[in-house]
Structure 1
Amino acid sequence: MLPSEAPNGRTAVLLHGKNFCAATWEDTIKALTSAGYRVVAPDQIGFCTSTKPESYQYSFHQLAANTAALLAKIGVLRATFIAHSTGGMLATRYALLYPKRVEKLVLVNPIGLEDWKALGVPYRTVDQWYARELKLSAADIRNYERNTYYAGRWKPEFDRWVDMLAGLNKGSATSWWRGIPPSSTI
């Protein structure tokens, strides 16, 4: 954890997407703390190093309520939300539910703004998505990320995130750990 040397009194909340964790915000956390922000970067429940309840209602409404409870517990009344991918959908839901608690909303490649049905993407149930995720190998994840997030460009330092996701699919989040605190509050 890196406390800011010159706090500006503001808080940034970083919300990760489905294929990511709080730890993937590492460079952003460093930049924001250098700019004086207190940074809160939680792993959403069920992701990465957070708890993974067997039966849980994963909805954006519930994840927003969890985020609100976390921020209330640590005394954050208002914050700038920076969110990526599925985290963008969560940040949008949070802003709709708690508008007075949002100073700014920054969405980085958010999903959910497209009409997937119109784009020909078939509907899958939660159980179908889960079964699909369990079958993914590290090579499958690497290929997907290389083509989806990195436009075919790959760097060896991205492999730790592939290892993290592959470990999650096998039920272990610890195999990828490189010393970045889980559910970080800086």
Structure 2
Amino acid sequence: MIGLHISYQDLNIGIALWLASGGNGWVSDADDNDATHARIKYKSNARILLVGSGADEQCAGYGRHRTSFRRGSWLGLHEEMKLDMQRIWKRNLGRDDRCIADNGKEARFPFLDEDVIRVLLDFPLWEVANLDQPSGTGDKKILREVAELLGLYEAAVLPKRAIQFGSRIARESNRKNFGSNRAANQASAGSVKICRKSNFN
């Protein structure tokens, strides 16, 4: 479902999307200040899942974008972001769509809508991101400003957290496959390929 030759990063992202698209979870029956709140099992009946793919690629949300900016200023950043958009279909979209579709859901990618892409391309890059500012401020600057305008103040200042880390899937996968997060990092787990054994060998 995820792909023939995948990395642990692909596997972790795929698992997180698959679990999220299953719609099984828990909700709280009280606000956060109530110490007696109970968790209630919940199953979402939503048929469509909104996926944020394209936001980081177009709004300088990855750490490598900061590196490209430091090394090559705006031109270096532009080239890195252009490369991200050229390969997003190959690196992300097929995997994401298959993992979500396996649960009978349809993925929608609002940041990859042609009009959204066109609008973002019409802005000068320094209006889209300001990588002189710290993480959680300058990356995805334009999206943070829109979030503030919509009253989503807490979301507007959150630093990026990739789905495989926010869901804790990567931590569990690293423990299982490498013994620990540290060992996985030393092995560059995001780039380690998982190859299936062929029945023809």
Normalising by structure 2, we get a TM-score of: 0.33
Q: Greater helix share, 1 or 2?
A: 2
Larger Rg: 2
Normalising by structure 1, we get a TM-score of: 0.35
